[in-house]
Amino acid sequence: MFDFQQATPALDRSVSLRRQVTAQAMQVFGGWGYREIQIPLLEHFDALKRGLDEDQIARSFRFVDRGGNLMVLRPDVTPAVAKTYAYQLRGLPLPLRVAYANKVVRIERAFGAEEVESYQLGAERIGRKGLVADVEVLLVVLEVLERLGLRRFHINLGDHKLAQLLLSATGAPRRIRGEVEEAILSRDPDQVRRILVNLGTRSRYIDATSALAGLEGGLQQLDVIEKTLNGNTKVRERIAYLRDVERTVDELGYGSRVRIDLGELDGPGYYTGIGFSVVSEGASRRIARGGRYDNLIGQYGADTPAVGFSFSLETLVELLHPKASRTSRKRHNHEVVPVSTHSPADGFEDALERRRNNMSTRIVARDDQETS
Amino acid sequence: MTRSERLRMALPVSDELDAICGHLRACGFGLPNLEMPGLHEAGDPIDCGYSFEVFRLDPADVATYVEHAISHLGVMSTDLLRESESAVWRPYTFPFGEYPMVLAAPRGESFASLSTRPNLRIASPYPKLAQDVFAHRGMPVEIVPVADSYTACLLGLADAFVDRLMDPAPMYEHDFRVLEVLEHRRLKLVVNRALGSRRRIAIQKLVKQLEEHQPEPPQSIEVPFETADEFNPGPYLEWDNDTEGEVAG
């Protein structure tokens, strides 16, 4: 459990909370064998852009440096890690587990304005496909959240591969697919149907695709798709895989925390398999996001499968800050040590004794001459 | 019932408020008089385990309250959703409140004639939609954000407008015509994206109830296209039976 009492005070309490949350998350990452990696904030745009989608490029900050190179302030850590692996770390034994606490610079929508800088705490597991790797990262995410003392959260688990299979089967051209994806993300089954009906898509593909947009539980969604597209081997295999992931997580006691939600297709364009978001009813933004990206490293070098996630430090602090405020108010009464201005040594002795015992201490000067 | 067992719903103070309340009442909600501001108890008529609280809001604010989890759900139109860019779910489409979003201009204008203007100005209460429409066509335009797009065009502030077409009569009256229907604006139930499993099930129940108690959809609106003019001569033209064409009146 995260101990807010030990948070180092700062003028802005969120500063110390950020530091503590970062330390706690990195400790969990380390406990699972993830080693910290430092990625430069400034990148050559031409080198990085292969791993960025249009939206990420549009939200990034680019400029020409004194040497005439087009530079970009890193808008996402994962492509930068993928590039670093492909260019510098290739050859290390796989799976390679790396973790980071890094700043990203991109335009994010916020209350009435745009946020530019944000921090990501994340981990990437490079070099292995399949259920073991996918479940491992889910467990790391769950442990971080548990260690931070968060109780009201869920991991919504979707699958980009299944969605791509269904969208391809509709025969929709790329632009229309984008519209359908938007409608699925908005959980607007009416709109999904409207678009596909106008396109002349066959009804069973419409039913299966619009099931992705439903609010029903994920297992129900899987049932609908399986029943509708029973003849499609790839779809059936993918559904079986998701059921295996769900069953494994359930057997580990996290069935109530991780729920399959096939509409969870948000995120950058490089996800190719499972995709997940961590949400809490009290937070307006997602706490974390992750997924499998088996083609991203191949944009920079040899194809290497990988899966990873990142926490939004700002959202974690937003959720934890009220708790920190409540606990910090309690400690003021018992930690005060009065120190007389007339003979201060005694008071300071008390203060030193408390500190030797690692007790919180706050010195208050007492002017004896005035009070006497 | 504790605070955590409530579902808060924001209703827009718009032309559709009566229809929305009627639809909810048909599902069993005992909605009080919403003229008064503040939260109103609406009970749990759908037996979902949560007591509903409703409150009124400016139509443009609903998604902000829902996105930031102040309200669990609400009702908002897609035109305003597009402008707000809020990330909310939209699991139900109301059978009323559907209007075409149109690009309109004084009669006789066309896309081609507008594109020849050196500084094309488009009035609209929906600046993002208007910007997207012309950016998509590669036409540089200046968007004039106004609430009353007719007046903006009539008094020369803009050359054309992008707006919701609720009633074609003002179009004929002011001699405007629709150049293109850009999309259809619809009314959606909007839902916070971070709901827990139990609240999601409750909202599924609500959606099911709304689907089962749908009122008849209203008649669709006749769109006054430019091409319809050969059948409806404008106020400054008269139909000449000899030439079977329009002549100046």
Read off the pLDDT of residues A280-294 as tens digits, 9 standing for 90 and up. 887 778 899 999 999
Domain A1-150's class? alpha beta
- What does DSSP assign to residue B217? P
Taking the CA of residue B245 and the nearest CA in chain A, the distance in Å comes to: 36
CB contact under 8 A, B194 and A279: yes
CB contact under 8 A, B191 and A152: no
In whole numbers, what is the pLDDT of chain A averaged over residues?
87
pLDDT of residue B231: 47
Chain B residue nearest residue A211, CA to CA = B91
pLDDT of residue B3: 53
CB contact under 8 A, A186 and B85: no
User: Does B99-184+222-248 carry CATH code 3.90.1150.10?
Assistant: no
Question: Stretch A127-138: mean pLDDT, rounded?
Answer: 93
pLDDT of residue A251: 95
pLDDT of residue A2: 53
CB contact under 8 A, B69 and A217: no
| pLDDT score of A229 more than 50 | yes
Q: Where in chain A is the domain with CATH 3.30.930.10?
A: 1-150
| pLDDT score of A333 more than 80 | no
Taking the CA of residue A153 and the nearest CA in chain B, the distance in Å comes to: 8
Long-range contacts of A59-66 (CB under 8 A, 24+ apart): A59/A106, A59/A107, A59/A108, A60/A105, A60/A106, A61/A105, A61/A106, A61/A116
pLDDT of residue B26: 92
Give per-residue pLDDT as tens, A152-208.
Answer: 899 999 999 999 999 999 888 888 998 999 999 999 999 999 999 999 999 999 999
pLDDT of residue B188: 96
- Per the model's pLDDT, the better-predicted residue between A363 and B232 turns out to be A363
pLDDT mean for each 10 residues of chain B (249 residues): 77 92 91 81 88 93 92 95 91 94 90 84 93 86 92 92 91 89 94 87 93 89 71 53 62
Closest listed residue to residue A259, CA positions, set A224, A220, A293, A204: A220
CB pairs under 8 A between A and B: 52
pLDDT of residue B204: 92
Taking contacts as CB-CB distances below 8 angstroms, the residues of chain A near B196 are 152, 154, 281
Q: Where in chain B is the domain with CATH 3.40.190.10?
A: 3-98+186-212, 99-184+222-248
Chain B residue nearest residue A190, CA to CA = B93
- Per the model's pLDDT, the better-predicted residue between A84 and B110 turns out to be A84
Q: Does B67 touch chain A if contact means CB atoms closer than 8 Å?
A: yes
Give per-residue pLDDT as tens, B36-91.
Answer: 788 888 888 888 889 999 999 999 999 999 998 899 999 999 999 999 888 899 99
Q: Does A135 touch chain B if contact means CB atoms closer than 8 Å?
A: no
d(CA A209, CA A196) in angstroms, rounded, equals: 9
Taking contacts as CB-CB distances below 8 angstroms, the residues of chain A near B194 are 154, 279-281, 283-284, 286
pLDDT of residue B4: 62
What is the fold, at CATH topology level, of the domain defined by B3-98+186-212? D-Maltodextrin-Binding Protein; domain 2 (3.40.190)
